[in-house]
Structure 1
Amino acid sequence: MRKLICLIAFSLMIGTTTLQAQDSYDTAIGLGLDFGEGSTFVGPSVKHFFDSNNAGLAEVTFANDVTSLTALYQYNDAFPNAGGLKWFAGAGFSIAFFDGGSDFFLRPTAGLDFKISNVPLSITFDWRPAIFLGDANGGDTFEPARFGLGFRYCLN
């Protein structure tokens, strides 16, 4: 049911916005994927720029009876003469909720953000390893093979 509500809310937000022709954006919403070693998580994603370089990314993703909340800070900068293409690096956390418990992960991140010119679409790809903090699996563990992929509609 939660997935259906998120999908309906996302569809309503997309339907109430207007198209823009620019190579940058302030806020974008869409679909986020967190994949790699283990389960693939899919769900709604929002990225908001606080200024030209500093952004926050939030995702609520779902996989195999697990719900994950992710919040990341990203420092962004453009590549010279590459309209719409930015690199970013940052860090944040994920909290995974499952039947009987939860897990906490530190999430460094580095990747690329491409805003398609004259189309209100941003595509991102990043490396976001998971550093597990907790008592399960014998203590702290590091999962390097985790990646993020985002397809977001640019609101402004």
Structure 2
Amino acid sequence: MKKVFLSLLAASFLAIGTNEVNAQARYRTALGLGIDLGDGPTLVGPQIKHFFDGANAGNAQVLFGDDVTVLGVDYSYNQAIAGTNGLNWYVGVGPQLAFIDGGRWWYDDRNDDRTYFALRPAAGLEFKIPSAPLAFHFDWKPWWNLSNRSNFEPARFTLGFKFTLN
């Protein structure tokens, strides 16, 4: 009897923990479209976001613009905003690689092939529509280039439109 009781108690705690994770994350994985804009070129491309647990997530994107392709991954810490249904805030950071194909990057006048390495901190809001498999985000995501004439561009933002899978 004692083993049955302890098994049920452990299963209850596991179920409560799983519900808590789902309540914070609102979804596990989402696919969508990212738009990176602000001072400089506008970049557009696919993205995927995956929650590792209720608060920690990874995001990957491939963005395209005139003569540039940007590959990036980000880690973010996410929390629900109390009193709202589906609205979360998040902060994060991640590396980005920009591949320039014979064009100019917005702060560098050289017309040749280059690869730029940048770190991009992010702070933003994400809204998951409670009754639909859709989520949207808006964040401030400055570009801190660490290579080829180092530069910091604070006026960069991203918008995201995602279809949540689960």
Residues 1:79 and 2:81 aligned together: yes
> Aligned to 1:124, which of 137, 140, 160?
137
Point out the structure with max Rg over C-alpha.
Answer: 2
State the aligned residue count. 132
Residue identity over aligned pairs, in percent, reads 52
Residue number in structure 1 paired with 2:114: 101
Q: C-alpha distance in 1, partners of 2:33/2:115?
A: 23
Q: Deviations over 1:41-97 (max 9, x none)?
A: 000011100000000111101000210001110000001110100000010011001
Q: CA deviation at 1:133?
A: 0.9
| Residue of structure 2 in register with 1:142 after alignment | 152
Q: Which residue of 2 aligns with 1:154?
A: 164
Higher strand share: 1
Give the TM-score of the pair, scaled to structure 1: 0.82
In the superposition, the TM-score normalised over structure 2's length comes to 0.77
Cα distance in 2 for residues equivalent to 1:47 and 1:107:
16
Q: Deviations over 1:102-136 (max 9, x none)?
A: 1011100000010001110000000000111113x
Q: 2:61 aligns with which of 29, 41, 59?
A: 59
Structure 2, unaligned runs of 5 or more:
1-22, 102-112
1:133 aligned to 146, 158, 161, which one? Answer: 146
- Give the aligned CA root-mean-square deviation in angstroms: 1.2
Partners of 2:50 and 2:153 in 1: how far apart? 27
Equivalence for 2:14: none
Aligned partners of 2:95, 2:37: CA distance in 1, in Å?
15
Amino acid at match of 2:82: P
Runs of 4+ in 1 over 2 A off after TM superposition: none
Distance 1:118 1:125 in 2: 20
Question: Which runs of 5 or more residues in structure 1 are unaligned?
Answer: 1-21
Q: Aligned equivalents of 2:143 and 2:132: distance in 1?
A: 33
